[in-house]
Amino acid sequence: MHPLFLPRLVNGPFEDPVLFVPFQFQRRAVIFDLGDLSRLPPRDLLKISHAFVTHTHMDHFTGFDRLLRCLLGRKMDLHLYGPAGFLSHVEGKLAGYSWDLVDRLRCGLRLHAHEVHPHRMLHRSYIGGDRFAAEGDPTALPFTGRLVSEPAFDVSAAVLQHSIPCLGLTLTERFHVNILKPGLEALGLPPGRWLTRFKNALYEGADPLSTFDIATDAGTSGGRFVLGDLQQQIARITAGQKIAYITDADDGPSNREAMGALAQAADMLFIEAAFLHRERERAAATHHLTAREAGEIAALAGARQFTLFHFSPRYRGREHELVREAREAYEKAKGKRA
Ligand SMILES: [Zn+2]
Ligand SMILES: [Zn+2]
């Protein structure tokens, strides 16, 4: 099986948090947090359609400039999401530069920023070709947990408490389309871009009785099929992938419940572990999780797999202690729940 999402932490666990998630076989990606992006080459930055910023502490937002610089002059839309105060933080970034020569770039970039509150979102767009002037006043939209809803996937968020509001995030594939190689071979069909179109037809719920024309990448016709028949012969539908991303949150009771619910049954949970539990007072004072808490939350959520990041620099060379503490807490909590 080829998973749709290929998430990877861009930096080491002592460096800025950034989770880059390219989509298999597509020139597209989403990104969680905009810490230092210097390790992402322009070809990866150009794939980003949506950026989700947990909060605007510098280590999570300093990469906004690199992303903006790379996309400048491109004709594209970039959707940005962040917690309370986000619109003014984006506007502050945009106000930090002179845009008088941007007209020469024929900048077709449009930014669509969303500020997420517990029950509503404020949305405002900024037009690159107009020196990033805002397009009208912010508009309010209802928010019930979902930030993005596309045929193939959703992105959801929970507003968690850090020292300031901070978004916990999930990316969920609706279902997964596995392409069966023997099925393709039996029909003499070469793999190619048409498979993305085929998958999109399934995600969009196209009528199984409708016809589906195959064009190969070489430009020849691969034939005409009834969509449902083709699906039976070349595809198998399985559960979709769920990825959760939680960082910079304290372990208060309401946060723990919200984190457990958000990451419920995640295939992969990326979760911060800033401190060892014996320094939990320091963790609480700075509103971060300890490794033990991270392991317990992963167990509470029933996450299949978890990866720790955002370690305090005091543990340099002792990463294994954080990993061991979280692993032990995860196993112990899972044992109790079984
Ligand atoms: Zn942080
Ligand atoms: Zn923070």
pLDDT digits over 209-244, tens only? Answer: 999 999 998 888 889 999 999 999 999 999 999 999
Which helix (H) or strand (E) segment holds residue 195: the answer is: helix 194-203
Q: Rounded to whole angstroms, what are the CA distances from 81 to 64, 85, 194?
A: 12, 11, 32
Q: Say which ligand is closest to the CA of 83.
A: 2
Q: Say which ligand is closest to the CA of 59.
A: 1
Q: Say which ligand is closest to the CA of 165.
A: 2
Place 1 in a pLDDT band, splitting at 50, 70 and 90.
low
Place 336 in a pLDDT band, splitting at 50, 70 and 90.
confident
Expressed in angstroms and rounded, the spacing between residue 55 Cα and the centre of ligand 2 is 7
- Indicate if the pLDDT at residue 323 is higher than 80: yes
Q: Say which ligand is closest to the CA of 17.
A: 1
Bridge-partner residues for 204, per DSSP? none
The tens digit of pLDDT for each residue in 122-179 reads: 999 999 989 999 999 999 999 999 999 999 999 999 999 999 999 999 999 999 999 9
Q: What percent of the chain has pLDDT over 90?
A: 90
Pairing of strands 221-226, 211-215: antiparallel
Expressed in angstroms and rounded, the spacing between residue 117 Cα and the centre of ligand 2 is 17
Q: Say which ligand is closest to the CA of 57.
A: 2
Q: Say which ligand is closest to the CA of 286.
A: 2
Expressed in angstroms and rounded, the spacing between residue 322 Cα and the centre of ligand 1 is 17
Place 100 in a pLDDT band, splitting at 50, 70 and 90.
confident
Expressed in angstroms and rounded, the spacing between residue 278 Cα and the centre of ligand 1 is 20
Which helix (H) or strand (E) segment holds residue 236: the answer is: strand 235-239
- Indicate if the pLDDT at residue 103 is higher than 80: no
Expressed in angstroms and rounded, the spacing between residue 162 Cα and the centre of ligand 2 is 7
**What pLDDT sits at residue 337?**
74
Q: 127 by DSSP, 3-state: which?
A: strand
Expressed in angstroms and rounded, the spacing between residue 54 Cα and the centre of ligand 1 is 9
Expressed in angstroms and rounded, the spacing between residue 66 Cα and the centre of ligand 1 is 19
What's the token pair of residue 224? 């005409």
The burial of 71, by beta-carbon neighbours within 10 Å (0-12 exposed, 13-18 middle, 19 or more buried), is given as: buried
Q: Say which ligand is closest to the CA of 18.
A: 1
Q: Rounded to whole angstroms, what are the CA distances from 44 to 48, 151, 215, 281?
A: 7, 23, 27, 39
In sequence order, which residues have a C-beta less than 8 Å from that of residue 37 and are 6 or more positions away? 10, 18, 45, 63, 66, 67
In sequence order, which residues have a C-beta less than 8 Å from that of residue 295 and are 6 or more positions away? 306, 325, 326, 327, 328, 329, 330, 331, 333
Expressed in angstroms and rounded, the spacing between residue 55 Cα and the centre of ligand 1 is 8
Expressed in angstroms and rounded, the spacing between residue 56 Cα and the centre of ligand 1 is 9
The tens digit of pLDDT for each residue in 2-17 reads: 888 999 999 999 999 9
**What pLDDT sits at residue 231?**
96
Expressed in angstroms and rounded, the spacing between residue 249 Cα and the centre of ligand 1 is 9
* Closest to 307 (Cα-Cα) out of 331, 291, 318: 291
Expressed in angstroms and rounded, the spacing between residue 305 Cα and the centre of ligand 1 is 22
Expressed in angstroms and rounded, the spacing between residue 251 Cα and the centre of ligand 2 is 14
Expressed in angstroms and rounded, the spacing between residue 199 Cα and the centre of ligand 2 is 38
Could you give the count of Cα atoms lying within 13 Å of 254 in the half-sphere of its Cβ? Answer: 6
Q: Say which ligand is closest to the CA of 16.
A: 1
Mean pLDDT of the residues in the chain: 95
| Residue type (1 letter), 238 | T
* Closest to 243 (Cα-Cα) out of 35, 11, 52, 36: 52
Expressed in angstroms and rounded, the spacing between residue 97 Cα and the centre of ligand 1 is 25
**What pLDDT sits at residue 169?**
98
Average pLDDT over residues 81-96: 97
Cα-only R_g, the chain: 22
Q: Say which ligand is closest to the CA of 272.
A: 1
Q: How far apart are CA 261 and CA 247, in angstroms?
A: 15
How many residues appear in the chain? 338
Expressed in angstroms and rounded, the spacing between residue 191 Cα and the centre of ligand 2 is 44
Q: How far apart are CA 262 and CA 279, in angstroms?
A: 26
The tens digit of pLDDT for each residue in 47-70 reads: 999 999 999 999 999 999 999 999
What's the token pair of residue 146? 């979902």
Expressed in angstroms and rounded, the spacing between residue 249 Cα and the centre of ligand 2 is 8
Place 104 in a pLDDT band, splitting at 50, 70 and 90.
confident
Q: Rounded to whole angstroms, what are the CA distances from 127 to 12, 109, 282?
A: 34, 7, 43
Instruction: Tell me the backbone φ, ψ of residue 185, rounded to 5 degrees.
Output: -65, -40
Expressed in angstroms and rounded, the spacing between residue 285 Cα and the centre of ligand 2 is 12
| Residue type (1 letter), 315 | Y
Tell me if 6 sits within 8 A of 21, measured CB to CB: yes
- Indicate if the pLDDT at residue 301 is higher than 80: yes
Q: How far apart are CA 71 and CA 87, in angstroms?
A: 19
Maximum CA pair distance of the chain?
66
In sequence order, which residues have a C-beta less than 8 Å from that of residue 119 and are 6 or more positions away? 142, 143, 144
Alpha helices, DSSP H, located in 247-318: 253-262, 280-285, 291-301
